[in-house]
Structure 1
């Protein structure tokens, strides 16, 4: 090799090493978030309404970092807000009333709970009223790739929107029985129906009129239905 080429070759090797050494690393995967709508019915006397909870996005129980809810003249006494929360997280929360002077009034009931998912609809809560837990159980045969959902007239059940319907689950030991539990407002008449989601995204509704159930004032209720 001619001596005159040696500095050029050394420079090329050095630059190659720098390029390799500074190559960007692939970014680690981030947790997927879902938009969760907090909806509560509450009468107020000049107060504003907040939601606080165990997740950092809800202020980690610090009322100074709680998320405000909004309402309008036509929507009152219904208040709502949407918060991005990580999918799969189990979150506890409560509502707070804040007076014009800054006095805070927390709900006195036990902490509310929710599990965040992409399919889960928003909450439909009542101020200081514990929800009733309703388990939807339905016997339904499905084709390969189909899944069963339930939707209804409340925001908790997706307000008849199949995209926001509550997914039900089954297993090899329980099929063709599907089930799923959800918290619903107590002492409320609920209309609902089951639907099947096909692998191509299309939806098959069950036949017949809307089903109707009246939720209990407290505790749990299990429904046992058969696909129509």
Structure 2
């Protein structure tokens, strides 16, 4: 039987070889997918705590907070003028929700954790930081506000307590919405229990300017325990 060999002209053989070489080079130098960059912000943790010679520490679910290992907990500090208020700042990734607690370590090394449920914090660029009380559970407060906005505007809540930014628009807490919920904006934030809280909503424009809603300050007294839901309409 006769075998038929297809002849490839020399010029075409060169082109084919060059193509194979280029494909190999491209495969070997193909760029790897870039790792997503994570934005970190400085979050201030503050707590009112009376101490008797112990060290006050902060521990939580994220590596930055020691991953619940007391040996890796973050120490808090105070001054004679600030005591019994203790504070520290931690770099945390934006968008992450962390659980945390405070603990005391005696000079002998004995560790005492808060006996309340884990505290929760969702980190955002506008996170004002927490103003907690040792072993006192905060009130998880759900803010629901109906408000129309223009493209690029955001809705925030701000108030007289540190947990709501102490009337500083730069520290106001953000509310969120989506296409299904709009014009309803919502957010859950922690407030001190058994406290008379004043608050208002504001809009932040793309250029950084702020528009407060009209009318008197809104007022609510938080319960001593449990949760709180506020349903408001922009005015």
TM-score tier (shorter): 0.7 to 0.9
Q: Is 2:169 aligned against 1:162?
A: yes
TM-score, with structure 2 as normaliser: 0.81
Query: Could you tell me which residue of structure 1 aligns to residue 147 of structure 2?
Result: 140
Matches within 5 A, 1:1-228: 28-228=35-235
**How far 1:99 sits from its partner (Å)?**
1.6
| Alignment RMSD | 2.0
Structure 1 residues without counterparts, runs of 5 or longer:
1-20
Q: Aligned partners of 1:49, 1:158: CA distance in 2, in Å?
A: 24
**How far 1:49 sits from its partner (Å)?**
0.7
Q: Aligned partners of 2:177, 2:36: CA distance in 1, in Å?
A: 30
Q: Aligned partners of 1:43, 1:50: CA distance in 2, in Å?
A: 13
**How far 1:148 sits from its partner (Å)?**
1.0
Aligned residue pair count: 207
**How far 1:29 sits from its partner (Å)?**
4.2
TM-score, with structure 1 as normaliser: 0.84
Q: Aligned partners of 1:25, 1:113: CA distance in 2, in Å?
A: 36
Query: Could you tell me which residue of structure 2 aligns to residue 6 of structure 1?
Result: none
Cα distance change, pair 142–25 in 1 and its aligned pair in 2 (3 A)? closer
**How far 1:35 sits from its partner (Å)?**
0.8
Secondary structure, counterpart of 2:230 in structure 1:
strand
Cα distance change, pair 28–140 in 1 and its aligned pair in 2 (3 A)? closer
Secondary structure, counterpart of 1:191 in structure 2:
strand
Deviations 1:187-227 (A, max 9, x none): 11211111011122111011222222111111111112222
Who wins on radius of gyration, i.e. which is larger?
A: 2
Q: Aligned partners of 1:175, 1:89: CA distance in 2, in Å?
A: 24
Deviations 1:13-54 (A, max 9, x none): xxxxxxxx99x9897443111111111111111212100111
